[in-house]
A = this chain, B = another copy of it.
Amino acid sequence: MVKTDLPAGSTPANGSAVPTKARQYFLPKLDGVHNLAVREFDVPLPKANEVLVKVHAVSLNFRDLTIATGTYRGPKHENLVPCSDMAGEVVVVGDDVEKWTVGDRVCANFSQAHLHGDITPETANTALGGSLEGVLTEYRAFPADSLVRVPQYLTYEEASTLPCAALTAYNALHGPTPIKGGDWVLVQGTGGVSIFGLQIAVASGANVIATSSSDEKLEQAKRLGANHTINYKKIPDWEKEVQIITGGRGVDHIIEVGGPGTLNQSLDAVRMAGWIHVIGFLAGNADVSNVPLKTLFKAAIVRGILIGSRTQFEDMNRLFSARQIHPVVDKVFDFEQAQEAYKHLESQKHIGKIVIKVSRQ
């Protein structure tokens, strides 16, 4: 039985018209944010197992910047519709879809086909705004099983920040040895993943140490629940400070965003048999020749994190709902201001997430 068989251009049950044409951003070239341009496209009908979503808000990640400027190492292509993170509203439901109805508020999972369990080459290859076309578009069809429900207490702007940054932090802290109340967690900096890592760790009963080069940002980290903060400009040997704070034991989990540039220090800051979750390479290159030996002598565990599965996204939403965690939104831009939004991200002055409002309703 068909749940909603409205063609594009007609009006679904809740009265919001689905137009036949709509606008979307695309990147004709990948050598700079200035390429970001708007084009008109034909709004598609969903396949039998898809739903059509009206996008309300999109949030930016550092990955989006590297794609637009050509430094991203993963899959991408010219004329790409950019961005991976959105929250929106179901407006048309495919014939065989049981799970969703018109009006449902949803996010799409970053890797569309990564439904549960570990990532695979096949599921890694379904990343929005990279392998697949992205979400900086007024309408987009998604496979029904790639979506998660937006918790009631969140706005579309807030929810749009979850798919990449929050899920990466959640996956880091809920790996083979999930975070446990009383654990010590170190988050590096105050970017999107780190702030979410802080919030998730606090809500899970952990002790959190946050680092940053800015006292102002560290104040914000404290307001979000960080037990300790370290300004690494003032204390470059932050790994020693971590050992002092933890009484010589070291931390159980590190959200490692610096990569080679901070990995050596992280290996000194982590406890024996503790976890370093590598999620990015913001600190640039550095000598890592010592890393394997240190890993061995510390019995440490270095783990790469590639976002997460839809099941983890649902689990994360349950935690967020239980503690009514609100994502930290730095600034909201209008659809027409996408280039400004990207440039604000580039400036690194933000704390938390940058959002583009796509729909005005």
Q: With A117-B116, A272-B118, A300-B303 known to touch, is A183 a contact of B318 (CB < 8 Å)?
A: yes
User: Which residue of the partner chain, among B182, B260, B280, B304, contacts A299 with CB atoms under 8 Å?
Assistant: B304
- The stretch that binds B, out of A27-35, A186-194, A202-210, A214-222, is A202-210
Q: Which residues of B lie under 8 Å from residue A115 when comparing CB positions?
A: 115-116
B260 touches A292 (CB 8 A): yes
Residue in B closest to A315 when the chains form the complex, CB atoms: B182
B119 touches A182 (CB 8 A): no
Q: Which of A164-210 contact B (CB under 8 A)?
A: 174-178, 180-183, 200, 203-207
How many angstroms between the C-alpha atoms of A361 and B260 in the bound complex?
54
User: Please, how many residues of chain A have a CB less than 8 angstroms from a CB on the other chain?
Assistant: 72
Q: How far is the CB of A260 from chain B (nearest CB, A)?
A: 5
- Bitwise, A234-263 to B at CB < 8 A (1) or not (0) is 000000000000001100000000011001
What are the 10 tightest A-B residue pairs by CB atom distance, in nearest-first order? A182-B318, A181-B319, A118-B273, A48-B48, A176-B176, A182-B319, A296-B304, A295-B304, A203-B205, A116-B116
Residues of A within 8 A of B (CB): 47-49, 73-74, 95-96, 115-121, 124, 174-178, 180-183, 200, 203-207, 227, 248-249, 259-260, 263, 271-273, 278-281, 285, 287-289, 291-293, 295-306, 311, 315-323
